[in-house]
Structure 1
Amino acid sequence: MKANLNNIKQNFLIEEIWLLTFGGAFQHSGIYKANTKEKERSYFRNMLKGYLEQIVLKKYKQPVSDEDHIENIIRISNYTASFKEVLKAPINIGISQKLLNLALKYYWCLGLLPEPPHFPVDRIIQQKIYKQPLVNWTQLNTIDMYMQIINDARVLAKQNNLSLAQWELENFLRR
């Protein structure tokens, strides 16, 4: 019974991770077409969750390179192109990175996956980097813009002898 209870508890936390991930990535994003029904939105989120879980659980059991991580962000954006009936447009790089990076951060913090290669780029962390002008992450359309923010943070993390994920976690908590 105890093993079963532990599985139930872990499954509960994983479902909460996905609620937080979608809430964090889709807030203020305006991704949905006007007048889409909640049933259609829910179907899209469930399909995307399944796709993201495949990426997260299969590709991130071991540390991945920047190149592989960027490829996965692009894959997520490309995957959403098939949901034209629900979305105004495919999810851009900013929202795709936020989805993937948030999920990886939560799984890492729970000890379910190794440390992620990057962190969720948003306004809060850009303010910590003092990146000017701030890039609206919901409108981040290129990998170059995304990687500029990551590389600026990498410099600060290195100065503090921290990985990117560790640096972001410490600085996010100090907001």
Structure 2
Amino acid sequence: MIKTSNRVDFLRKMGFEVYYGDATRLDLLESAGIAQAKILICAIDNPTVTKQVTKLVKEKYPHVELMIRARNRDDAYDLLNLGIENIYRESLDTSLSLASDALHKLGFRKYTLNRQVQNFIKYDEAILRRLAKEPKKGTDSYIFVARQELEKQERYLNEDLIEGL
């Protein structure tokens, strides 16, 4: 495994301007040019740190558009509730690619699968935004609403599939 310091050194040798340190420190963000930035892409593995960076940048540099990777659905809920619009769930695209490729190997048409994947993403993003407003998962209220949303999504996807045949 490559150590972070070796990665930073390697990237600097390749000619990249690299800043390494605690992204929750305003002085580090400022030395990296946050005041002039148009976009900040945050792909930190620790959801707590991600939320801290998000809050800090939203408060101090509201002109910066945030594009944030979320590790899972719960992290995405938290980010949505912080007002973040550009959320990229870590395993969503990989999971959908894997499912699509598996179904293609089972004989489904690639075009149909691509269309269904796009529809799934559209419906799932809408559900994500609605469920973010619900009490956290595990509560009876969340489970009830989540099941209703999943049934609705399944119905829409089936209708889309039939319409496309």
Please indicate, yes or no, whether the TM-score normalized by the shorter chain is above 0.5. no
Greater length-normalized contact order (CA 8 Å, ≥ 6 residues apart): 1
Structure number with higher helix proportion? 1
